[in-house]
Amino acid sequence: MPKMKTNRSGAKRFKVTATGKVKRWKAGHRHILTSKDRKRKNRLQAPDTVNNADSAHLKRILPYGK
């Protein structure tokens, strides 16, 4: 059986943790930060996990979990 191809756009946006969850980064922390308060910016810089309904699709995109 040939090697499976990893979806490169997905590999740049998501990571699979050691427990098998899919990690993502939050939107809204790139620019126009002066109008956002400190508490909001701190929350946006922390990674989050993907919903379980979407994680099955993402695990197919990332067959080797990288």
Each domain of the chain, given as residue ranges in start order, spans 18-61
Residue 49 — pLDDT band, cuts 50, 70, 90? Answer: very high
The mean pLDDT of 20-32, rounded to a whole number, is: 96
Question: Which pLDDT belongs to residue 66?
Answer: 59
Cα distance between residue 37 and residue 64, in whole Å: 38
First to last CA, the chain: 20
What is the value of pTM for the model shown?
0.83
Question: Which pLDDT belongs to residue 29?
Answer: 97
DSSP code string of 5-51: PP-HHHHHH-EE-TTSPEEE--SS-SS--TTS-HHHHHHHHS-EEPP
Q: Which amino acid is at 48?
A: D
Cα distance between residue 44 and residue 26, in whole Å: 6
The mean pLDDT of 40-59, rounded to a whole number, is: 96
